[in-house]
Amino acid sequence: MKFVIATLNPDKLREMVALLPSDLGTFVGLRDFEGAAAPPETGATLTDNALLKAAAALAFTGLPAIADDTGLEVDALGGAPGVWSARYAGEGAGYAANVRKLLREMAAIEPARRTARFRTVCVACFPDRDPIVAEGVLEGRITEVLRGTEGFGYDPVFEVAGTTRTLAELPFAEKNRLSHRAAAVANLARMLRG
């Protein structure tokens, strides 16, 4: 089966293709389709946004579509930025602006209260059956400064629970073994096979 990965983000596409088992089919990116555009992420939850993206990609390409939405949930900020993680510093803000805003808001928070988690919801939409929804979570804490050069987004300030390294300090293959996205994709793959 051929799937379209419903993202225009090359970093996310690279991770998704690396994580998806080849026995499920072949995978192409949304950028491979001329005129493709990402729908507005207007959902109230990560699941809503993942469904919006997958349904739009299915409608545009006619192919079964896989999409995800990820949020960083910081306990000291009441779960923020959450569903707004990609737009935390405002619409069109990039990775650096989002991270700067997070570190500013966390500046006075002591180490014991810097707990956080990444949550990913991964959805597969098909032309002829109900969507499949899976989730993955990775626990950790927010660091005081950026550390590491791998990964993207909040990875340089997210120290993985049980380690002393941020996601940006982990090699790509190691990150993909333990990440929130890896867990969500593995759960989705199990459901697709079942």
pLDDT given at position 6: 96
pLDDT given at position 132: 97
Q: Mind listing the domains of the chain with CATH numbers? A: 2-193 (3.90.950.10)
Contact 38, 7 (CB under 8 A): yes
User: In the numeric block, which tokens belong to residue 154?
Assistant: 């909040």
Please write down the HEC assignment for all residues of the chain.
CEEEECCCCHHHHHHHHHHCCHHHCEEEEHHHCCCCCCCCCCCCCHHHHHHHHHHHHHHHHCCCEEEEEEEEEEHHHCCCEECCHHHCCCCCCCHHHHHHHHHHHHCCCCHHHCEEEEEEEEEEECCCCCCEEEEEEEEEEECCCCCCCCCCCCHHHEEECCCCCEHHHCCHHHHHHHCHHHHHHHHHHHHHHC
Cα 178 to chain centroid, rounded: 13
pLDDT given at position 92: 85
The catalytic site residues sit at 69
pLDDT (tens digit, 0 to 9) for every residue of the chain, 194 residues total?
Answer: 899 999 998 888 988 998 999 999 999 999 999 999 988 889 999 999 999 999 999 999 999 999 999 999 999 999 999 999 999 999 888 999 999 999 999 999 999 999 999 999 999 999 999 999 999 999 999 999 999 998 889 999 999 999 999 999 999 889 888 999 999 999 999 999 97
Nearest to 69 by CA among 133, 156, 1: 133
In the block, tokens 């969500």 appear at 184
Contact 105, 116 (CB under 8 A): no
C-beta atoms surrounding 105 within 10 Å:
16
